[in-house]
Amino acid sequence: MHQIQPSPPVPPFNAPAARRLRQALGMATGHVAYGMYASYGLTHITADTIDAWERGRATPTATELAALAGALWCAPAELMGAATTLREHRLARGLAPEDVAHAVGVGLAAYVRMEESGKWRGNERQTAALSEALGLSARDFATVTGLDEKLADMLRSAVTTRWQAYTRPIAKVLPLERSQLDTALERLHGDYQSMMVGTLSWGGGSGSDDAAGKRFLDQILDHFWSRVAPGPRHRA
């Protein structure tokens, strides 16, 4: 008995943007449908299909989105809402899985598994290459590769113990220059420790100290990213 494979999720689609882009080109929906047929062989696309997409009654698949972008002379990203996953970021840049796997230096099957699971397991060089290939900021990279929870745990340990011990582990999973990371961790550690000392002095008791410390640690990711100075995103 054959197991039914689930259909891949459709990418986010910005219907008003699709309509604006078509109208800016002076094209009717039938012209767009013909362009998708002539250039991409999508014979099932009709003027009614384009109209349904633009009115939000239907959503194009990844293949249809790429063809629509071609017909409208735009990048797929211009037709998408905010990308929130590895797959969506790849689609936004008009890349095939093979393109990204080759750029990163991993096998296609391994990359597809990571894309489907949302969990990144590449090494330091591959992390930098993936971030470069998809144009991801370090913060977006951590989120779309499922690293936020792991990163938050390491940051909590860094500010409550010796931050220097966490530079190397964090550098392995984030596409940040080492100097940026050192500076951010040192500032984060110093701010947390100063706050804890100040809270003890001002509050006069461990209760206020515990509350302030817990709030800081609960928001550790926001505190960290606010302390990451602008600079080169990728290692040379």
Q: HEC profile for 95-139?
A: CCHHHHHHHHCCCHHHHHHHHHHCCCCCCHHHHHHHHHHHCCCHH
Give residues with Cβ within 8 angstroms of 214, minimum separation 6: none
**Pairwise CA distance, residues 90 & 116, whole Å:** 12
Q: What are the strands, taking DSSP E only, across the chain?
A: none
Give residues with Cβ within 8 angstroms of 48, minimum separation 6: 29
Residue 6: per-residue pLDDT: 54
Residue 198: per-residue pLDDT: 63
Cβ atoms of 154 and 189 within 8 Å: the answer is no
Residue 10: per-residue pLDDT: 79
DSSP state at residue 55: T
- At residue 219, φ and ψ (nearest 5 deg) are -105, 30
Residue 121: per-residue pLDDT: 84
Residue 233: per-residue pLDDT: 45
Residue 217: per-residue pLDDT: 94
- Name residue, tokens 């062989």: 41
Residue 82: per-residue pLDDT: 80
**Domains of the chain by start residue, with CATH:** 15-79 (1.10.260.40), 86-144 (1.10.260.40), 148-226 (no CATH)
Tell me the pLDDT tens digit for each residue of 25-49. 999 999 999 999 999 999 999 999 9
**Token pair for 89:** 């970021």
Q: Which residues of the chain have pLDDT under 50?
A: 1-4, 202, 231-236
**Token pair for 217:** 């640690």
Residue 207: per-residue pLDDT: 54
